[in-house]
Amino acid sequence: MMRFAVLTGTLALAAAPAFARVPLRLHDVPQEMLSTGFVDRQGRRLALADFRGRVLLLNIWATWCPPCIDEMPALDRLQARLGGSDFHVLALSIDESMEDVRRFYDNLGIRHLEPYLAQRSRVMADIAAVGLPTTILIDRGGRERGRLVGPAEWDGRAAIRLIQSLNEERNLSQ
């Protein structure tokens, strides 16, 4: 009977909508990351290292992923609210083409997120992603501070407080 209760509780948590999920928790110790490569809307090659000095919320997603679709408006609102020289939402699509991403942004009304595109197998291996969406909070020094697999309310109070607290850590060693 106890196993059934535990299983039921676990399934209920997994099925909880994004707005009910707690944002990621910070790691006790920041973790080094590979600087995976990707392209921006102009086709320029970039890497995570190009964003050092800013706090990043790296979101790996795809246009065909229902939980990814659900959380994109919240990520767009987060970028509108906090985005700037200190913080950036890096929404990294693993779709086939930038045109797919642009069309998706237009259809969903995404106005504040820049489109980025990566090769699926490379980025999933480089960051050890096991599902979509995978969201990683990265500090100014390029280290992983927290990770969440699954959707979340990224423009909710708890997520904003978490990001702002990391954004206030101005003196991290590079």
CA–CA gap between residue 112 and residue 84 (Å, rounded): 11
Q: What is the mean pLDDT of residues 75-93?
A: 97
CATH of residue 64's domain is 3.40.30.10
Task: Quick: pLDDT tens for 140-161.
Answer: 999 999 999 999 999 999 999 9
* Residue 2, in any domain of the structure: no
Q: Which amino acid is at 1?
A: M
The least confident of 18-27, 34-43, 106-115, 157-166 is 18-27
pLDDT value of residue 92 = 98
Q: 36 lies in a domain?
A: yes
23 pLDDT band, cuts 50/70/90, is: confident
Residue 172 pLDDT level (bands cut at 50, 70, 90): very low
d(CA 155, CA 162): 11
In a domain, 75, yes or no: yes
Please tell me which residue, 134 or 10, carries the higher pLDDT value: 134
pLDDT at 170: 72
Residue 25 lies in a domain: no
Q: How high is the pLDDT of residue 5? A: 35
Domain extent for 37: 30-167
List, for residues 120-133, the tens digit of each pLDDT value.
Answer: 999 999 999 999 99
Residue 152 lies in a domain: yes
Number of domains present in the structure of the chain: 1
The predicted model scores a pTM of 0.86
In a domain, 95, yes or no: yes
Strands across the sheet with 45-47, in order? 26-31, 144-149, 134-138, 55-61, 87-93, 116-117, 37-40, 45-47
In a domain, 7, yes or no: no
Distance from C-alpha of 56 to C-alpha of 122, rounded to nearest angstrom = 20
Strands 87-93 and 116-117: parallel
